[in-house]
Structure formats: structure tokens, C-alpha cells
Chains A and B, each alone.
Chain A
């Protein structure tokens, strides 16, 4: 480990010119900005779709006249725009920036990424309209028509090519842990999409493949990028190295080996081969190892830097996300157990859990990353710490309300269903107040997304006052600036 550290130092001193960060940032400026802005666009679209779907639970007679607004079309359109629009595209921007910074290497084929982002957006438009128009494939997590995924796979490939080209010219020898996660995700994402698109499944086997795929899109495409960002930004903003290099190796390889086996726990008690379900439950529980390892590494690094967490927008979002990752993963391991599945499977509990993962963890980490990245790309500061604060609290309270409401609703729903004396309708009635709470949480989050969209628009067009220093929640003492996230 000591040799690696000294090699990295040598790399820096021997080869890197003054101002390499600005040079590297400039080379990825427009591709990364385009990916992040596109992601934010789909975030807003996805939020509108989510709110429509949520309000329909409160008023089932609302917007029923047109087919394209029926619940069963709006809901998959929401999921797909959030997964393949927001989190994948914003994630691609964030991972590209991290990749360039960590390899200390400029991007030469940025135009390929611009092509990727343009075609990807087009595919998203076509796919979303297709679902609303009645062409959903009705396969959870892959509702777009098949050709849309073929295009998206192509876009990931075209977008990843410039990154692999940079790997060959990299100006560091040692690859930081964030690079492992990103590099692996760039293989895993397309691998999952390609293998699940093969025409080799039917009947029950299609269901096992479906959940192998869907859980892995979360675990091996979205999660690694979130973890890569947390691994970079927590030590970076606090200004101290990651707690343990060896734990990061252990955390990565155990995730790589365990996570991809976990998905079939979605079919407990169903007609799927029980050996497959049992394997998935075992690996779901084994996921405790990478999760605790990563949690130790992140939280021990952030531990004792409460001031920085309060002051830095980046850190506040990312620490929120990292804590959510610990929570959602341990909850997930527990949820896979048969006795708990008997109660909560088929209920709102699962929906709450999914949002704890994709939103409270992955989305919040993306927000934090973007707050760090954009000022460096645009050479311009965020216009208002008050608005960032508003964004944080609306989304944090919104997702908190959402997850608590659905977690409780699901347990109550499950308990009612487990009681053979209770009528089925009672299991629905008991959730209704919590579904109102869900709509309130969702509305708060959507307000936050509009604020975020406005801030992003302002910084890309360099609107607002020209500020001398970074936008923090609280004033920073001069002696602390070197370690905090200034735009330099």
C-alpha cells in the first residue's frame, strides 16, 4: 500500500503540468453538461408522471377519460424515464467527470459522447411516448419497445468508448476504487441489457430472468456509480484519505460476486424453481458484507467532520445518500427472508424500499456530485445557497415522508392480507391515508426538482451574480478553504 501511495505521488510530480485539473475539466465540459442537463430534464418529466400516478391512488376517477393517462401506462413511463433517463444519463455525466479527474487525463473523443447523449434522448422520447400510446411490453423495468434498448445499449457503448480510450493514455498508474466501480458498471449495464433482450426465455423462466435483470440494473448499473461518487467526494471534500484501502478492495469484490445473485428473491412463494429463489435469498443476506464494509469506509471517513457536512452542499447530499445506502441495503437483506416476504411482498413496502435505493441513495448522491462538478465545468458558482438549501430540504423531507409512509402502509396491508378473516378491500382501505402522505412526499420532491432544474439552468447559462467564492450553506473560515470544495 505504501508503494502504491508513493507511486501516485511520483505520477503527480513527474508528469502533470500546472493547471491539469482545468485542462481535464475543459475536455469533458460539454459532454458531461449535456448528460447532466438531459438527466435533469427526464427527472422533471418523471416527477410529473410520478405525481399523476400517485394522485390517482387518492382520486381514482381523476384523468380516466384518455388511455394515455391511465395509471398502468403512467407508472411504467415514470419508472423508465427515471431509470434510463434521469439516473442513467446524469450518472453517465458524473461517471465521465470522475473518470477524467481520477485518470488525470483529458478526453479526446468528446464528440462521441455528444452523439450518444443526443441519440439517447431521442430514444427516451420515443420509448416514453410508446408506453403512453399503449405499446408497453409489460415487463417490469424494461417496458420500452425492444428497439429502444438496442439504441440505448449502442449509446452506452458509444459513450463509453472515449473513456476506454482515456484508460490507455492515463496519467496515473494506480486505479482508485471509484474507477473500479465505474469500469465494472460500464460492462455490467450493457451485459444485463443484452442478455435479457435475448429471445430465450418464456413462462416462469422469463420471470426469473426478469428479476435477475431488474435487481441487477439497480445493483450493478446504478449502485456502482453512486458508490464511486461517494468514494470520491467524501474524502475529497473533507480533505482526508479514505479510511481503508483494503476495505475498499474487499467491498468491491464482494459486491461484484454477491449482488448479481440476489434478484430472484422477488419470486419467493411463486412458481419459480425454489432452488433459484433460495440461492438469491442466501446471496441477499451475504450482501451484508460489502454493505457493512462500504459503510465503514464512508462513515469512518466522514466521522468527525460534521461541520463540513453542514456547510458543503455536496457533502450534505452525499452523506445523506451514503447513509441511505447502508439503510436500504440492510433493509433489503432483511426483506429477502421468507417470513418477512410472506408479509410484505406484493405490498407498498417494496415500492418504499425501491425509492429508498434509487432516490434516497442514488439520486441524492447524484445531486451532491452535480453540485460539485458543475461550478468546475462552467467556471461559475451556483447562484444561491438558499435555493440549494430549499432543494435539499424538500427532497430530504419528501423522500423521508415517502419511504416512511409506504413502509408502514405495506406492513399494514400485509398484516390485513395475512388475516383470512379480513376482506381484501380492507387491505386497500388501510393503506389509503398513507397513500395521501406519499402524494405529499412526492410533491415536495417535485418542488425540489424544479428548484434544482432552475439552478442548473442558471449555472449553465451563467445567470445570476458573479460570486467570488463557492456557494456554501455557512461562511467558511479562511484556514478551512483548502480542504473544502472551492472551484479551484
Chain B
């Protein structure tokens, strides 16, 4: 080739086409989509919890998308009752669909595992409730207090002796409580 202009115009035209088709078109197509019945925007604690989910990089091991029946075994595993649909995500920016399942899918975790005690123990040390798990512990989302200093409003966490600190009580910080609140919004049927 001799003319640089052909190169530049051609290259730009090529990428412009796929940009319009794969980035702009889906946005336009999904602009008017109705949210799944019962799905409402995140409240303050939930959106703060979503920030914690983003900050700690949960997406690198957990997806939030249930594969439809006949494609994978998500539904047999009890990860949901139907394939995920665009209406499940209308309030999501950034999207947190994820690409990796070192851990299980979380699109329906609020339905599957609603227990706050379980989740807090799991965040404090995943192996305390899920032996052999590779998930990191998040001790910095908790503080260990003397029994005398625990307030009535504190949320305490119980783990078995093997995982508990030598002395003191494990108290959940606000971040992890918000994270729990966010996880509880992850339901395929929010009316449930």
C-alpha cells in the first residue's frame, strides 16, 4: 500500500461497524426493557454492599448469570429456575456478570442461602462452613472485641473453635453487613 489515508479510513470504518453493531445496538435494543417482576433499584445499604463486592473483586471467581436449561447444569445444581434474562439486570452498572466459576454462581444466592449467620461466618473464614474452599478469608471486614465492649447493636459472628480468635468476640463491620444486604438482592424471583 502506498496511501496512508486508505489505511486509516479503512481501519476506522471496520471498527466503527462492529462498535455500532455490538456496543450501540444492544444498548438501544435493551433500553426499553422491563425489569423482572419485583426487581427494584438498590437501596443505600445494598448499593454500598455492591461497592464492596466490586472493591474486593468477587467477579473474578463468581458469575451472576444462570445458564438456561439444556446448556450446562446450572438449573440441576439449584443455582436458579430459569436462564438469566436482561430484565434481571436493569439497575446494574457496572454489570457484574463475571466470567469465572472458581466459586459457584450467585445470581440466586439470596434464595439459595438466606442465612446471615452462614454468610458472615463464611466471609470471616470460608473454610469454617465450606471445608476445602479456596475462597480468601476477609478478617479485615470484622473486628475482634472484648466481650465487655460488645454493644447491643453489634452483629456478632459465631465460628467453631478451630477458626475463632484466641479470645474476644467477632463483630461484623458495616461493609460486610452491606455486602450481605446486597447478596440478598440476588434472586431470580425478587417477589419471593
Contact with B along A27-67 (1 / 0, CB 8 A): 00000000000000000000000000000110011001111
B44 at interface by CB-CB < 8 Å: no
Do the beta carbons of A183 and B4 come within 8 Å of each other? yes
With the chains together, A432 CA to B102 CA distance in Å?
A: 11
Q: How many residues of B contact A (CB 8 A)?
A: 74
A487 at interface by CB-CB < 8 Å: no
With the chains together, A417 CA to B97 CA distance in Å?
A: 18
Contact with B along A62-78 (1 / 0, CB 8 A): 00111100111101100
Contact with A along B121-153 (1 / 0, CB 8 A): 000001100101111111110000000000000
Inter-chain contacts of A212 with B (CB < 8 A): 18-19, 22-23
Do the beta carbons of A342 and B71 come within 8 Å of each other? yes
Residues of A within 8 A of B (CB): 4, 56-57, 60-61, 64-67, 70-73, 75-76, 134-140, 167, 173-175, 180, 183-184, 187-188, 191-192, 195-196, 200-210, 212-213, 216, 220, 249, 253, 256-257, 260-261, 263-264, 266-267, 269-273, 276, 279-280, 338, 342, 345-347, 350-351, 417-420, 424-425, 427-429, 432
A-B contact count (CB 8 A): 230
Contact with A along B82-114 (1 / 0, CB 8 A): 011110111111111101111110000000000
Q: Assuming A203-B86, A266-B99, is B30 touching A139 (CB within 8 A)?
A: no
Do the beta carbons of B134 and A271 come within 8 Å of each other? no
Interface of A is mostly: helix
Q: Assuming A67-B140, A138-B55, A253-B10, is B4 touching A205 (CB within 8 A)?
A: no
Inter-chain contacts of B103 with A (CB < 8 A): 428
Do the beta carbons of B57 and A138 come within 8 Å of each other? yes
B48 at interface by CB-CB < 8 Å: no
Residues of B within 8 A of A (CB): 1-2, 4, 7-8, 10-12, 14-15, 17-19, 21-27, 29-31, 33, 53-61, 63, 65, 67-68, 71-73, 76-77, 83-86, 88-97, 99-104, 126-127, 130, 132-140
With the chains together, A65 CA to B103 CA distance in Å?
A: 21
Q: Assuming A173-B2, A183-B8, is B138 touching A206 (CB within 8 A)?
A: no
Counting chain A CB atoms within 10 Å of each CB, the highest count among B2, B26, B102 belongs to B26
Q: In this complex, what residue of A is CB-closest to B59?
A: A138
Do the beta carbons of A175 and B95 come within 8 Å of each other? no
Q: Assuming A70-B57, A204-B95, A269-B68, is B26 touching A276 (CB within 8 A)?
A: yes
Q: In this complex, what residue of A is CB-closest to B75?
A: A420
Do the beta carbons of A201 and B137 come within 8 Å of each other? no
> Given B25, B92, B102, which contacts A202 in the complex, CB threshold below 8 Å?
B92
Do the beta carbons of A180 and B1 come within 8 Å of each other? yes
Do the beta carbons of A137 and B94 come within 8 Å of each other? yes
Q: Assuming A195-B23, A257-B14, is B56 touching A273 (CB within 8 A)?
A: no
Do the beta carbons of A60 and B136 come within 8 Å of each other? yes
Closest beta carbon of chain B to A343's beta carbon, Å: 9
